[in-house]
Chains A and B, each alone.
Chain A
Amino acid sequence: MGATLAYVFGSAVLAPSMTRREPLWLPASALSALSEGTPHPVTLRIARQDGATEAVDRRVVFLVRAGGTVRALDSTCTHLGCRTRVNADAGVIECPCHGGMYDLEGQVVSGPPPHPLAELPTRIEGSRVLVQV
């Protein structure tokens, strides 16, 4: 009896914890809209099933064009997960929470972040830039 209950109820409780997010390729920007070397913040709308409801997540990525290729940096600070922002005047990406600083390539310049900003895979299709999230 105990085993049956543990199996049935355990499955129903733990199953959602085991699901993984499917990787998605989302169109992020037109290639012509990006200027060389400057991070360009783009908000991606990701619709997903959220239990019985549907939720739309917003994720900000920084697109940096370098010649024919585009890099995409996740805007999430690697320290404690705050949202970083581009400070174009100072030429850095900064985190408002604990003063972490990254350069425009996403490398840590100063402050507590342990790693560079995460880089997301990108792909160019015709004139459009796609980012995998």
Chain B
Amino acid sequence: MRARVFDWLDVRTGYRAVRSHLLDERLPGGTGWAFTTGSVITLLLGVQFLSGVVLAMYYVPSPALAYDSVLFVMRSLPLGWLVRGLHVWGASFIVVATCVHLLRVFLYGSFKAPREVTWLTGLAAFLIVLGFSLSGYLLPWDQKAYWATTVTINVARGTPLVGDLLANVLRGGPDLGALTLGRWYAAHVFLLPAILVVFVAAHLALMRRHGISGPIRPRPGPRVPFFPWHVLKDTVMMAVVFASLVALASAVRAPLDEVANPADASYIPRPEWYFLSLFQLLKYFPGPLEPVATQVIPGLAVGFLALLPFLDRHPERRPLARARLPWTIGLGLLGTSVLALTAIGLGDRPAGKSAGDWGLLPIAGLELATGENSGCVRCHVAGGPAAPLAATGLRRDEEWLLNHMIDPVAIAPGVRTEDDRPSRMAMGRFGAQAVVAYLRRNHAGIEPPPLDPSLRLAAMTYASTCVVCHRISGEGGTMGPDLTLIGRRRDAAGIREVIEDASMVYGESSMPRFKDKLTGAQIDALAEYLASRR
């Protein structure tokens, strides 16, 4: 009965021929583990596809909601953090796996005639994978997303002749905003997957058309069938990579910065590690030479890879044989340069605002927003006219937020009661900045440092006095020196001397004397905190 059902199905669909085509390929003897790299990429693409579909169910491609929808996935959705972890780390895995695959194909000379077009389709698929990475990290709409994309688009603007047009197309207008997010989202989830499917399908079809190249010196004897032995090797390799991916995604949460803030120019964007080499290259070609780093060198590298099968035409497959040696050295130099630039980029971390560094201003904001004298809880309570601070989103622009902190009643319609005087200043501009800085960190779920009375005192003193001229971790004025790493230059006693009377230390100084304006406890707290910043 069962056989008759399958016979019936086979007559109608011809599935047995398809199955036989897929499984019964005869491989050259000795085809081993090195030939499992392609299967690993297929698996990783599958994981990206499935996790991407799940993320797309919850993600909202709008600047007002994108960040909160990602927070929702990370915090509220059961296993959502793992789904996003698989997608984020899976992207890195694919880049690595693709490079390994490319290297394997090169070292085994597998791209040689008649497989040149197979190589080209694979190279195209690799570039599309990089396109996925580039378009993917704008989507969470956090600081990194916003500023890294700003840099990407400015790089595109450097293209000769059509640069401005290209940048406007990428942005969907003169400014980075909702239209940019919409088109990058559409590219990431519709356009790129469609193109990738075409190239991967062509790549696989060509691979089957020409057969697996197999080892350089095939083991003598009959060719072995693909199923079951090579399928087993593929499966074991895929399982190992899959287990590593799940382990990494479980152990390390996918990062998410504070919500994007176009007003915050102090953020120093750094790209994902796989674009670090390009990012680093950019630093060596300043000003008018920029297109050399952004277009010429990457263009030459891709061109070299694309031309490899036509340059390295000798039938010899051993990578170190004399006929192939120049090309092996060429690819080796390219790979080494990329690795070296990536390593330099990893080591080169400029002092700027970092996500985990609270500095003093946000701590002052925490005091102002949640301390005993806070006016916020008058409205921001469960069941009150505004959502509790912990639940409230940061969907307004910086200017609205600051004005709301300074005069909460005036700017939020419907909150004013008859008891309120026309305008009541709740706090000054710097207090408002402090509260907004606190809310941004709080909203992103970044834990504050342990708060002792001395730190609180230092924070409140800084927010009322020092912030006007001095910057810590990207926040504060710029008239005086940046104090982010002041502890490396002076110890607590030295800092105290400067605060008490800068003219005594430096001779002439525009910094006022604070000996009589601040209490001894305030100066001690500041000196102790600042000395610890190293």
Interface residues of A in 36-80 (CB under 8 A from B): 49, 51-54
Tally of B interface residues using CB under 8 Å:
28
Interface residues of B in 77-93 (CB under 8 A from A): 77-80, 82-83, 86
Expressed in whole angstroms, the Cα–Cα distance for A15 and B80 within the complex equals: 10
Give the Cβ gap from B216 to chain A, nearest Cβ, in Å.
Answer: 31
Expressed in whole angstroms, the Cα–Cα distance for A123 and B350 within the complex equals: 63
CB contact between A15 and one of B43, B47, B78, B387 (< 8 Å): that residue: B78
Interface residues of B in 39-63 (CB under 8 A from A): 43, 47, 50-51, 53-54, 57-58, 60
Instruction: Judge whether A13 is part of the interface by a CB distance below 8 angstroms.
Output: yes
A-contact 0/1 string along B75-110, CB 8 Å cutoff: 011111011001000000000000000000000000
Find out whether the CB atom of A13 lies under 8 angstroms from the CB atom of B54: yes
Give the Cβ gap from A4 to chain B, nearest Cβ, in Å.
Answer: 6
User: B43: nearest residue on chain A (CB-CB)?
Assistant: A1
Given A1-B239, A54-B387, are A12 and B77 neighbors across the interface (CB < 8 Å)?
Answer: yes
Instruction: Judge whether B361 is part of the interface by a CB distance below 8 angstroms.
Output: no
Question: What DSSP secondary structure best describes chain A's contact surface?
Answer: helix
Instruction: Judge whether B120 is part of the interface by a CB distance below 8 angstroms.
Output: no
Enumerate chain A residues within 8 angstroms of B77, measured Cβ to Cβ.
12, 15-16
CB contact between B68 and one of A1, A5, A16, A53 (< 8 Å): that residue: A53
Find out whether the CB atom of B78 lies under 8 angstroms from the CB atom of A51: no
Find out whether the CB atom of B242 lies under 8 angstroms from the CB atom of A11: no
Given A1-B43, A1-B242, A4-B242, are A11 and B78 neighbors across the interface (CB < 8 Å)?
Answer: yes
Give the Cβ gap from A59 to chain B, nearest Cβ, in Å.
Answer: 18
Instruction: Judge whether B69 is part of the interface by a CB distance below 8 angstroms.
Output: yes
Give the Cβ gap from B257 to chain A, nearest Cβ, in Å.
Answer: 17
Enumerate chain B residues within 8 angstroms of A15, measured Cβ to Cβ.
77-79
Find out whether the CB atom of B60 lies under 8 angstroms from the CB atom of A52: yes
Instruction: Judge whether A9 is part of the interface by a CB distance below 8 angstroms.
Output: yes
Enumerate chain B residues within 8 angstroms of A11, measured Cβ to Cβ.
78-79
Which of A8, A16, A54 has the most chain B CB atoms inside 10 A of its CB?
A8
Find out whether the CB atom of B72 lies under 8 angstroms from the CB atom of A8: no
**A residues apposed to B, CB below 8 Å:** 1, 4-5, 8-9, 11-13, 15-16, 49, 51-54
A-B contact pairs, 15 of them (CB 8 A): A1-B239, A1-B242, A5-B50, A8-B82, A9-B51, A9-B54, A9-B83, A12-B54, A12-B73, A12-B83, A13-B57, A52-B60, A52-B71, A52-B72, A53-B65
The 5 closest A-B pairs by CB, nearest first: A52-B72, A52-B69, A15-B78, A52-B68, A11-B79
Given A8-B82, A13-B57, A52-B72, 4 further pairs, Cβ under 8 A: A1-B242, A4-B246, A12-B83, A52-B60
